[in-house]
Chain A
């Protein structure tokens, strides 16, 4: 494939204003699917999380998962939306083999939430308001595996294999209003918006938002208009941009590509494009033979939803602090640099650190444990940080033991690993393994004297003023006590003995 011509970014901005529209699909983490009682779980043996309803068998009927509606309303509220007093599901009719009924149960002109906004914080701390057009409920499709052909992709495949485990998984589609005025920061705004949305979903606890597993997917609409022009230009829609970084890259690429076409006197074709992770480009999809007409109509198998105002207000009370506000507050309270703040959020450690601080640990230590050692442990064990078998309270206790001089950092890491391995709480591990720091002088002195006797040349050096040589003796003592000695005290004792 020949690469498209790109206009240098500066030139794009000199001549055009970008307008964005972002459509994000979020899979809810309900226990069951949206319209049937099948388990909502990623993966699984193919076609084992299915029933007559999500397989679209003749005669089957949908029933709405109340928890899915609750999550949708909470998402709507968190996005500062109006919540519909009365709304319906609608059928979106089109044929596609991964869609068991050949219509998607969705919402059309009556979304459950509409007209809101999300404030997102850019890298320099500036807050940008993104308007929210709507958030509506729908269901996910099955998955197809394309077999044969060179690439294993859809093109050139000989046949396809379908797995409907994902069919019927609850989705919330969140659509922004046109994002205007972002100028050169448009790609950054796009990334920051998706990032903020992801944090919001995590804070709400409604989705795993794993972009790598497809539980959060982003389609980016991009158009350009010549500076000073009011009406929007023709847009393209780039599908399935599956990482935060890709969102930024895809928008930037489309801006440069479209600008090159326009600058050359060409016109933009309204089309679906696909993001290529490898080189950050987008490529055109198969042109549509006919314009899309989904023949929406109200879903007769489902009755309307009319959330009472009492219910909505009750749900409003369960909302977490808006992510950007929380970020700002945490940065101030904990006195973090921008980089420290980013690490804290990127590792997903913020709630755990906060809980550890609440349990009495100083912020710096709590943060360091979670963002560094425990994050490494989580990666090594291939689990989410929050899934590690240690509680913030236990981490706080370890930090306390270090402060009291009862554990060295090295010992503390051993203790924590043992806790993660399920050997019990920190105190139990210390007890069972006998991992106390030895700071009793009489016990230490014996070990120090032994080490001094074994290395008379070193003793000479120390006595001759080479104080740094004491390290060798300290090391020997530490080795002899299997690391349980208080190294600082050992050093003091060595120097005392060599006076």
Chain B
């Protein structure tokens, strides 16, 4: 049974910002199909009456005081930047729009 098509893999790669090659698409399509088939097994026992668990340890209300904590200097902040200019991160032109 095929769960996922090559086109879907291409779409996923796009969503995930991965410029995958044609060869990779062929490889991943097959592999993802096998993996997704195997993991789909979870639905066998995931019935409506079972509540989901998002956190392993049941903590709630972990808050921080509203107090300033020293952060990074501008130099430290930019230390790993592929490119920087005027104290800012320099990036290629942005096409999309803010959400």
Contact = CB atoms under 8 A, between A and B. Distances in A.
A163 B88 contact: yes
Given A46-B87, A162-B88, A162-B89, A37 B67 contact: yes
Interface stretch (A89-97, A342-350, A354-362): A89-97
Nearest to A64: B63
A406 interface: no
A370 to B, nearest CB: 31
A45 B97 CA distance: 25
Contact of B77 (A65, A164, A286, A307): A164
B94 A157 contact: yes
Interface stretch (B1-9, B19-27, B28-36, B52-60): B52-60
A161 interface: yes
Interface string B65-99: 11111111110011010000111111111111111
B25 to A, nearest CB: 18
A443 interface: no
A96 B68 CA distance: 27
Contact of B71 (A51, A68, A159): A51
A287 B55 CA distance: 38
A164 to B, nearest CB: 7
Tell me the interface secondary structure of chain B in the complex. loop
Contacts of A52: 72
Tell me the interface secondary structure of chain A in the complex. loop
Interface residues of B, number: 40
Interface residues of A, number: 62
Nearest to A308: B61
A66 B93 contact: no
B62 interface: yes
B69 A48 contact: no
Nearest to A154: B94
A303 B89 contact: no
B17 interface: yes
Interface in A80-138: 86, 88, 94-98, 104
B86 A94 contact: no
A141 B96 contact: no
B64 interface: yes
Contact of B88 (A32, A47, A297): A47
A306 interface: yes
Given A47-B88, A69-B63, A159-B91, A37 B68 contact: yes
Interface in A191-242: 239
B50 to A, nearest CB: 16
A30 interface: yes
A288 to B, nearest CB: 9
A38 interface: yes
B64 A64 contact: yes
Contacts of B97: 154, 272, 285-286
A305 interface: yes
Given A63-B62, A66-B64, A159 B92 contact: yes
B64 to A, nearest CB: 4
B72 A161 contact: no
Given A65-B64, A66-B66, A94-B99, A47 B87 contact: yes
A412 interface: no
Nearest to B94: A160
Interface in A426-479: none
B94 A38 contact: no
19 contacts: A37-B69, A46-B86, A46-B88, A47-B77, A52-B72, A64-B64, A65-B64, A66-B64, A68-B66, A96-B96, A96-B99, A97-B91, A104-B99, A154-B94, A163-B89, A290-B11, A304-B60, A305-B61, A306-B60
Report the 10 A-B pairs with minimum CB-CB distance, sorted nearest first.
A37-B69, A66-B63, A51-B71, A67-B66, A161-B88, A298-B54, A162-B89, A46-B87, A303-B59, A306-B60
Interface of A: 30-32, 36-39, 45-52, 54-55, 57, 63-69, 86, 88, 94-98, 104, 141, 144-146, 148, 154, 157-164, 239, 272, 285-286, 290, 293, 297-298, 300, 302-307
Given A96-B96, A303-B55, 4 more contacts: A30-B66, A144-B94, A146-B93, A163-B88
